[in-house]
């Protein structure tokens, strides 16, 4: 897997996240980055370069990176939290870190899990070849293997198209890196 490095110091890119100040910096060299959510796509930008990740298991995807995003990403395992003692207030502060390579690895694991789930599913389903309506095996049998919407013949849905699409996404993720925009 290609490692994603900081554009400045060339170390593994681990972003220190300061949600209050909406500040995202490389943990090692303090190079500034921008983080934005566009629907379920996390965009990491620096100067004229961008890196994008589709994260399908997040629900709170505000365009501005918020504390809700941080907590959900932490609960899903995308972020790490380090507690630091703030001697000024005698309390601990949370310091959030986003390891971009860990994020990439987690997304890859999620896609592989989905592919295995699809391939190992023992339930048979049917699909209409013209309107793409899905039917369980019982529904298809009840309707004499005809679509109730357009009356065309149903065919077995083996989900190969979805698996191929997921495999294409895996290839894109493997070769993902900063691209100029």
Q: Give me 14's structure tokens.
A: 């681990």
More confidently predicted of 104 and 65: 104
The string of DSSP codes covering 83-145 is: EEEETTTTEEEEEEEEEHHHHHHHHHHHHHHHHHHHHH----EEEETTT--EEEHHHHHHTTT
CA pair distance 75, 62, nearest whole angstrom: 17
Name the helix (H) or strand (E) containing 50.
strand 49-54
Segment 34-87, tens digit of pLDDT = 988 777 788 899 988 888 888 877 775 666 677 888 888 899 888 999 887 777
Among 72-81, 100-109, 126-135, 165-174, which is the least confidently predicted range?
165-174
49 Cβ neighbours under 8 A, 6+ residues apart: 7, 178, 179, 180, 181
Torsion of CA 6, 10, 14, 17, to 10 degrees: -40
Confirm whether pTM is higher than 0.75.
no
Spatial contact of 46 and 7, defined as CB atoms under 8 Å apart: yes
Q: Are 85 and 92 in contact (CB under 8 A)?
A: yes
* Residue 5 DSSP one-character state: B
Tokens 């049917």, located at residue: 126
| Predicted local confidence at residue 111, as pLDDT | 87
pLDDT band at 32 (very low <50, low <70, confident <90, very high): very high
User: Looking at the predicted structure, is the pLDDT value of residue 154 above 80?
Assistant: yes
């Amino acid at each position: 897997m290609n490692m994603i490095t900081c554009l400045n110091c060339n170390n593994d890119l681990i972003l220190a996240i300061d949600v209050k100040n909406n500040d995202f910096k490389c943990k090692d060299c303090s190079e500034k980055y921008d983080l934005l959510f566009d629907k379920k796509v996390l965009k990491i930008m620096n100067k004229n370069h961008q890196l994008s990740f589709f994260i399908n298991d997040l629900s709170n995807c505000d365009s501005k990176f918020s504390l809700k995003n941080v907590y959900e990403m932490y609960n899903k395992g995308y972020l790490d939290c380090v507690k630091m003692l703030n001697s000024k207030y005698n309390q601990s502060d949370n310091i959030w870190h986003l390891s971009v390579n860990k994020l990439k690895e987690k997304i890859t694991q999620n896609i592989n899990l989905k592919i295995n789930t699809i391939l190992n599913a023992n339930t048979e389903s049917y699909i209409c070849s013209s309107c793409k309506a899905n039917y369980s095996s019982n529904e298809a049998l009840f309707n004499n293997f005809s679509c109730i919407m357009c009356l065309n013949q149903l065919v077995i849905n083996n989900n190969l198209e979805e698996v191929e699409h997921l495999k294409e996404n895996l290839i894109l993720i493997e070769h993902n890196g900063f691209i100029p925009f």
